[in-house]
Structure 1
Amino acid sequence: MTIVVALYAAGWTLFVWLGDSWLQMLVAVAMAVVFTQLGFVAHDLGHRQVFRTRRPSDIAGLLIGNLGVGLGWGWWTAKHNRHHANPNHEDHDPDVSPAVIVWSEDQVARSTGIPRFFAKYQAFWFFPLLTLEAWHLHVASVKSLFQPSAKRRGLELTLLLVHFALYLGLVFTILPVGKALLFLVIHQGLFGIYLGCSFAPNHKGMPVLTKEDKLDFLRKQVLTSRNVRGGWLTDVALGQLNYQIEHHLFPNMPAPNLRKAQPMVEKYCAEIGVSYLQTGLIESYGQALRHLHEVGADLR
């Protein structure tokens, strides 16, 4: 956390120091990485992995999420907890709702409008659409605070507005309009791609559950999740979410301990005959994209 926050401060300091320069586009790339890493920290805070009590988790989550990267921490945490309760369940998991991408043949058959338009060749659209993911998260964060169920509406909205005011104010003050707009496109586009590429290997292309599937907790979590092999670089790049099976079984286990739990979980799954999938990073994307392409086959 200290390293990522220090990099965040260093990145904006460098931005101010460089001034009106095309080198700022490289800063945009670097800051996309830093924003995503801050997102991983907010994720861990949401799972109560960092502090033992709720209050410091909430305070840190609001500062990092809302103020730091413009992500509504309360909204995203509630949505993510629904995902954990029913991963890849087409009726209960908000991450597989057919908003743009459709995840099952059943959803394709019921799709209309934009999802149906993209579904035909959605495997080819997947990565280009990720460039809009960060923008979507910003908009959804603000919209959620106008729902009747919103909590801490005033505080969260204020922190989000302060983030947007400081972020846009700094970019358009330091850079002329053309360079500023390009900086925003690069930074937010790569931020969205990095986020999407970090979460996509975890469940995309894995079985999509329906109300007919009656699974116990262990099978519901393991059979819908995929681990990604790799060393320390993969762990850092994916925020240690590459141990997705262990994370879903023990969501409040601090991320650095997931790699220690992995061999024990794999061994236990083998003993009780539960399929445990672990693959390389590139292959994980291949499995996800093949699944998306197969889902849209009827439309082709």
Structure 2
Amino acid sequence: MPVYFNLQSMQVMYLGRYWRDIVWVSSFYIRYFITFGPFYGIFGTVLLIYLVKFLESPWIACVTQMSHIPMKMSREENRDWLSTQVLATCNVEQSFFNDWFTGHLNFQIEHHLFPTMPRHNYQKVAPLVRSLCAKHGLQYVNKPILKAFGDIVRSLKKSAALWMDAYYET
């Protein structure tokens, strides 16, 4: 998966002529090889890059899925942009650990509303978003991290049951 994702990203940048992005991505790999190449060699450094990506993948999946998958959002409902962003995501309660573990992406609602805002500022804008949601009658979901993880499992279990019913239907 990490190999495909990197190749696909480079292809999109090349075909879209995103030269600045290509320079930045290339500079990452150049710096990576300058830093680790003398210790591990070329093959070892490539292996390290993909080992880190392999270990990072479950983390990013958990962080993003606990804020998206459990939300019940109907595609048939015609909603405005604000309502869609708020109702399609949820937050995980703010704490030192949650901020660190999620990289401040525990403020997923704010992330969807202000995608270019530096993540460490989400907690500053959260009270304003909460009041905006209250003003427009939108539910602002903020849950403990263990409940968020449990919601992932419950959602996957529900999806598996639907698939099993459809697959084994006689």
TM-score of the superposed pair, with normalisation by structure 2: 0.73
**Equivalent position of 1:139 in the other structure:** 7
SS in 2 for 1:230: coil
Deviations 1:61-81 (A, max 9, x none): xxxxxxxxxxxxxxxxxxxxx
The 1:183/1:260 distance shift into structure 2, 3 A limit, reads: closer
Displacement after TM superposition at 1:253 (Å):
4.2
- Shift in Å, 1:220: 0.8
Query: How far, CA to CA, are the matches of 1:182 and 1:223 in structure 2?
Result: 40
Question: CA 1:282/1:137 → structure 2, altered by over 3 Å: closer, same or farther?
Answer: farther
Tell me if the contact between 2:68 and 2:88 (Cα under 8 Å) persists in the aligned partners: yes
Alignment deviations for residues 169-223 of structure 1 (CA, whole Å, 9 cap, x no partner):
764542379966764453221222333333222212213442x220122211111
- Residue 168 of structure 2 is matched in structure 1 by none
* Structure 2: tracts of 5 or more residues without a match: 165-170
**Match for residue 206 of structure 1?**
71
- Rounded to whole Å, the distance in 1 between the matches of 2:31 and 2:74 is 43
Q: How high is the sequence identity, in percent, across the aligned residues?
A: 25
Distance (Å, rounded) in 2 between the aligned partners of 1:264 and 1:222:
13
Aligned partner of 1:262 in structure 2 is 126
Counterpart selection for 2:39 from 151, 167, 174: 174
Cα 1:136–1:199 change in 2 (3 A) is farther
> In the alignment, is residue 282 of structure 1 matched against residue 146 of structure 2?
yes
TM-score (norm 1): 0.45
Distance of 2:25 and 2:53 partners within structure 1: 16
Tell me by how many angstroms 1:294 deviates.
Answer: 1.5
TM-fit CA distance, 1:159 = 4.6
Paired residues of 2:67 and 2:90 also in contact (CA < 8 A)? yes
Give the 5 Å matches for 1:24-103.
Answer: none
Is 1:194 aligned to residue 59 of structure 2?
A: yes
Q: What is the rounded CA distance, in whole Å, between the counterparts of 1:287 and 1:246 in structure 2?
A: 20
Q: Is the aligned partner of 1:238 residue 2:106?
A: no
- Aligned twin of 1:152: 18
Structure 1 regions of 5+ residues with no counterpart? 1-131
The higher-RCO structure (CA 8 Å, 6+ apart) is 1
Size of the alignment, in residue pairs? 164
RMSD of Structure 2 on Structure 1 (CA) = 3.1
